[in-house]
Chain A
């Protein structure tokens, strides 16, 4: 029985752990691997950092381009159509 995941397996587990609670045996295997493998520990941290940055961005991204004037105009006239109907 494989009691210790390889790095490749560990990255899959680390990714999955971002989405759901792993079964106990996988969780233990991953924890053990991360404790002794610097690269995978780093991979795991970077997945979490990536999530933090993405979610941060949604809230804070005020300098990204907004609606193009033509699109704004088009939407305004669609709204007007609906208001008039």
Chain B
């Protein structure tokens, strides 16, 4: 491996790494930082790259750590918002006795590329509307597929807090998707 590779990585995998990072960090600026830190770290570590994995897989592995670092640095204190906003939003979906206030509509089963493209935009828009802490926990779990135990440890929050944040985020996301056409898109 020679030193020219670093520029090749940027050319060949820069966009890919950026998209993965953007998707998890919900910020262009942070995603650019993540790509830069990944490539710099890769440069320092290239002696340890054995070539067993493809460069993209190897770089993506480094990127995952950088994303978690960036999230940790940006979430100075992870606190369940004391405000009752999340709580109220959930309460408003249920009657006082705990039954759903409105029936849930089924989602469609989009297969066509165009439909999937549309869904992706809705997914991203909804995720961008989550509160930052919720968005980050949600991304680490649902997008990056990290185990909750790992997330709690990385962000230094209790399992209960982690789980409350995840639940609120999921309820919000589900509702947001429903309100933005998921229940109609391709519905049979």
Cα distance, A66 to B18, chains bound together (Å): 6
Cα distance, A8 to B72, chains bound together (Å): 31
- Chain A residues 57 to 73 lying within 8 A of chain B, measured CB to CB, are 57-58, 60-68, 71-72
A54 with B143, Cβ < 8 A, contacts A9-B98, A66-B14 known: yes
Cα distance, A58 to B172, chains bound together (Å): 20
Q: Please report the number of residue pairs spanning A and B whose Cβ atoms sit closer than 8 angstroms.
A: 124
Contact of B23 among A19, A43, A57, A62 (CB under 8 A): A57
Cβ A72 vs Cβ B10 within 8 A: yes
- Chain B residues 87 to 114 lying within 8 A of chain A, measured CB to CB, are 90, 94, 97-100, 103-104, 106-107
The majority secondary structure among interface residues of chain A is helix
Cβ B35 vs Cβ A67 within 8 A: yes
Question: Is B171 an interface residue, CB under 8 A from the partner?
Answer: yes
22 A-B residue pairs with CB within 8 Å: A8-B90, A8-B94, A15-B170, A18-B170, A19-B166, A39-B103, A39-B104, A43-B174, A46-B107, A54-B142, A55-B142, A57-B23, A58-B20, A63-B117, A65-B19, A66-B18, A66-B19, A71-B35, A72-B14, A75-B32, A79-B10, A82-B40
